[in-house]
A and B are shown apart, each in its own frame.
Chain A
Amino acid sequence: MKVKIWGSLSAFTDGRGELEVEAENFKQLLDQLAEQYPGLKPQIERGVSLALDGWIYREAWFTPIGPDSEVVLMPYMQGG
C-alpha cells in the first residue's frame, strides 16, 4: 500500500512523499518505514499519528489497514 508522509520527512526518503509498504496494521507500517528509511526513526520514536481514510489515530498499533485504505502519516498532536 501507499503511505503519504508530510513534506519535511521526504528529506529522509530520497525526496519521495509517498512510500510503498506492506503492512496490515499501524505497527507493521511503522516498523517497515523505520526499516526501509532509517532516517525516519527519530520522528517515529518521538511519536506520529496516523490518518486512515481521513480519521486520525494517535499511536494505535493494531489499527487494521486495508489494502485500499488511504494512509497518511502525521505528527503526534496535542490539544488544549
Chain B
Amino acid sequence: MKTVHVAATINGDPVEFVCEPHESLLDALRNRLGLTGAKEGCGTGDCGACSVTLNGRLVCSCLVLGAEADKAAIGTIEGMAEADRLHPLQQSFIDHAALQCGVCTPGILVAAKALLERNPDPTDTEVRYWLAGNLCRCTGYDKIIQAVQDAARQMRHA
C-alpha cells in the first residue's frame, strides 16, 4: 500500500502522520493520533458519531479520507474545552442530563457548536434538523435539544 504523508492542524496544533490511501480521517484520528473522542457508529455517514470540522465545515470524519486532511484544519471534540474550562455546550449537556451512554455525545457537541457559530438563536426545529444526522438511541433527543438551547442562551448573554 502506498502510504500518504499528511500535514494538518488539529485543534490548532500542527500534526503530521502517514496513512493508507483508503484510510478514513476517522481511522487516522483514532488509530494514528490517539484521538478516540470521535466514534465510529456506522462508517457510512448515517449516525454522526464521528463528526469533526474540516476547515470549519461540519463533516463525518468517516466520509473523509485521511489523505484529504493534508493542509487542512481539523477540529475535534478534544479541542472543545479550553484547558480545564468546559465549553458552555459541554457544561449544559452535563447539567441537563443530555447524555446517557454518551457515545453519540462528542459528535453531537461538535455539531451543536457548529450550529451555534452560524445561528446563535436557533428554534427548536432548527436544532432538530441540524442534528438530524446525529443519532442518539438513549435520550429521545428531548434533553439534548434543551441543553443546546440553554447553552445558546448562555452564549448569547455572555
Task: Determine whether A and B are in direct contact in the complex, meaning some CB atoms lie less than 8 angstroms apart.
Answer: no
Interface, chain A (partner B; CB < 8 A): none
